[in-house]
Structure 1
């Protein structure tokens, strides 16, 4: 009861604050800097704004990124070079510093690129960030993909969370145009909590040094003993997977509880080049796993649900608040008219 009363009070205060407070969000859009790749001679596609470099084994090369400080004060920026990985939404990402990768990766960018951890740029000035690439002597096929991330360091805070503004420039390294045969492997299937929901996660691995895009996931989960369909799978969201990366493909259980038992996953993954991979994998959900996952998701959600009467009271409060605001406005207009008369 105390929690509900507190919630109602907070809602009322926030609403009043939003009504009378001037808009202060515009200033947050002013990042105050930008970055630009200085494309070298070995840039493959010169129409691109990212680094698309043709490299040779056992060679070194310096590349530069222009860091433009458009703000009125000197600023400091943190620098990271991150390997491309596949994020939890099924897209290629560069934001994570130590993302999990498959052991088949030709080399890690952090092992072959030297760069300063930070760079300072005076107000309204441009400084050039220099990175040194030391390509290993062992040749590789395909691509090594990553991103150069520049993050503005700031002490500005909102709700005790430090604001950070970042830009990323892609870095694609190749030694030839030799085609690479694509492949995709299913590592495991097991129940899990994903996006705070009951799920079954199929861990997929791309063991090839080539990114794959326009991926489509179609399939079903069935009860093993009678082949009864439990879940249908149809994801066609232009998903992708990074080179030499792993991806936890989460099959949403639609907020339904997991039931212990033996199941089979039938999954087909296809790309835009008409490649297709078919997986048929048995898996088990134990009673302990089902109980723990259900408790962490469905049961917790039910506990946190507010009763209907709370929302009715909030609606009444909103109506009353609006009514009093209208009365206040009308009163002020009458007072202004009396003064002018």
Structure 2
């Protein structure tokens, strides 16, 4: 039986938790089109360009999103997705309903971005497809109802607008797909995060060729501007493997496995 002789402990340093709202904002103007959130009366902060809403139990909410198309006719798909921290620890607004569950402690979040958000006058929730003429500006209606039980803590997702790729988007055999997203953050009108806890860490399944750390956010609220540096060292203090992330936000009830980069070959003893 093989046993790793040198992994002793996990050293976690440089963990910063301070408020910086820009880490949530993911709007951009790539792919010859841009999108813009129209802020309304539920908006908590008028100085940001994504939705941060204060909502009541059972309340109906109506939002609008502006799409500015480029110089060519384009097909678009608009979708609402739950935000997660992926295996790079960065915010990801692009995953399907089934895939996000592997990145969350609670498999059924307080608000379902896939089943509870409706676009335009569609009778069913889900993605909306549309065609925009060259240089057309279209305002898209977004509607949802806050659950009767309300929002527990905070809920965060995003409205994704993806340009359906054309052959002209191909570069050196690679077909580029362009997506822009605006974050949608919701909290109860009486929400307070005074009892916010730090992230939880544990050493996951590891061996001589791969080391994993498990990171969880025990809060039902967003942690902003988190920088993470994790190191596994041997008996002599030499770094065996490490992981570093740039500053990001950590979604409520996040649960993510992070693979460390090997920097030292481990000795293995046979016992």
TM-score above 0.5:
yes
Take 1:46 and 1:217, find their aligned partners in 2: how far apart are those partners?
33
Take 1:210 and 1:260, find their aligned partners in 2: how far apart are those partners?
42
Greater radius of gyration (CA): 1
Instruction: Note if 1:56 corresponds to 2:67.
Output: no
CA RMSD, 1 decimal: 2.9
Residue matched to 1:67 = 67
Residue matched to 2:229 = 217
- Correspondence list, 1:147-296, <5 A: 147-156=158-167, 157-175=170-188, 176-179=190-193, 180-186=195-201, 189-191=204-206, 198-212=209-223, 213-222=225-234, 227=235, 229=237, 231=239, 233=242, 235=244, 237-254=246-263, 256-260=264-268
The answer to whether the 8 A contact 1:147-1:168 is kept is yes
Q: Residues 207 and 76 (structure 1 numbering): CA distance in 2 closer, same or farther, change over 3 Å?
A: same
Residue matched to 2:13 = none
Residue matched to 1:137 = 148
Q: Which runs of 5+ in 1 are unaligned?
A: 1-28, 262-285, 288-341
Q: Which runs of 5+ in 2 are unaligned?
A: 1-28, 120-126
Higher relative contact order (CA closer than 8 Å, sequence separation 6+): 2
Aligned-pair CA distance for 1:135? 1.2
Aligned-pair CA distance for 1:111? 2.5
Take 1:229 and 1:87, find their aligned partners in 2: how far apart are those partners?
29
Take 1:150 and 1:231, find their aligned partners in 2: how far apart are those partners?
42
Residue matched to 1:33 = 33
Aligned-pair CA distance for 1:219? 4.9
Take 1:231 and 1:244, find their aligned partners in 2: how far apart are those partners?
30
Q: Residues 134 and 30 (structure 1 numbering): CA distance in 2 closer, same or farther, change over 3 Å?
A: closer
- What CA deviation, in whole Å up to 9, does each residue of 1:47-98 have, x standing for no partner? 1111111111112212111111121x32210112121111222222223333
The answer to whether the 8 A contact 2:151-2:186 is kept is no
The answer to whether the 8 A contact 1:78-1:153 is kept is yes
Take 1:103 and 1:39, find their aligned partners in 2: how far apart are those partners?
29
Secondary structure at 1:109 match in 2: coil
Q: What TM-score, normalized to structure 2?
A: 0.72
The answer to whether the 8 A contact 1:106-1:209 is kept is no
Structure (1 or 2) with the greater helix fraction = 1
Aligned-pair CA distance for 1:257? 4.1
- Correspondence list, 1:46-125, <5 A: 46-71=46-71, 73-97=72-96, 98-99=99-100, 100=102, 101-103=104-106, 105-115=109-119, 116-125=127-136
